[in-house]
Amino acid sequence: QITLKESGPTLVKPAQSLTLTCTFSGLSLDTSGESLAWIRQPPGKALEWLALIYWDDDKRFSPSLESRLSVNKDPSRNQVFLTLSNVDPEDTATYFCAHHPDGQAFDFWGLGTMVTVSS
Amino acid sequence: EMFLTQSPATLSVSPGERATLSCRASRNIYTNLAWYQQRPGQPPRLLIYDASVRAPGISDRFSGSGSETEFTLIIDSLHSEDVAIYFCQQYDEWFFGPGTKVELK
């Protein structure tokens, strides 16, 4: 069974950087075809895909946020990291990580972590 | 840029009745489409992938169909636990639709 858990700060000031961690079990990011995704959801709004990182360290980003996003992994610790720079109150959202196997749909999700951007 | 639209925005259905949700893609995405259910306060849950394949453990009251640009999710015999927002997603570029909120009439 795959499990994922997001963690990070709950409050970030505008213009700062936000780094979130996804800690997972039941999969290996060293295995061909595996990848993890980051998705966010502002309160009361729709889901927004942010980024993907593959087993071979290939990465994909949402075009609208690409200049502010980075994603990295540490397979030895079963962790993936998302950094969003220069945050703004519009970045206030619940941030999810999800398992993305072999180019398919996102089959397992974490519970999400709520981040508020405010001074 | 590719995008998805969903209709209706809100759907009110009586218990036991059928709910029909639509998702339209701005270009041909073949059958690279998934449906997710998000109950209040919970993360999304995968219902359907490849447009029509139920994910493991999903009730057969949920069925998906369609291809290219037009897709449908049907929920048969609506139950109270089906009250949720339903999102479609294309996994060529991973974008989501805006969602359809299903409520009980």
Nearest CB among B49, B50, B99 relative to A46 is that of B99
Per residue in B54-67, pLDDT tens? 999 999 999 999 99
Say if the Cβ atoms of B43 and A52 lie within 8 Å.
no
Give the model's pLDDT for residue B91. Answer: 85
Contact call for residues B44 and A110 (beta carbons, < 8 A): no
Q: Is the pLDDT of residue B1 over 80?
A: no
User: Which residue stretches of chain A have pLDDT < 50?
Assistant: none
Give the model's pLDDT for residue B93. Answer: 86
B5 has which bridge partners?
B24
Instruction: Give the gap in angstroms from C-alpha A66 to the nearest C-alpha of chain B.
Output: 14
Q: Which residues of A touch B98 (CB under 8 A)?
A: 46
Per DSSP, the residues of B19-83 read: EEEEEEESS--TT-EEEEEE-TTS--EEEEETTTEEPTT--TTEEEEEETTEEEEEE-S--GGG-
Q: With cut-offs at 50, 70 and 90, classify the pLDDT of residue B79.
A: very high
Mean pLDDT of B80-97: 94
Percent of chain B with pLDDT over 90: 94
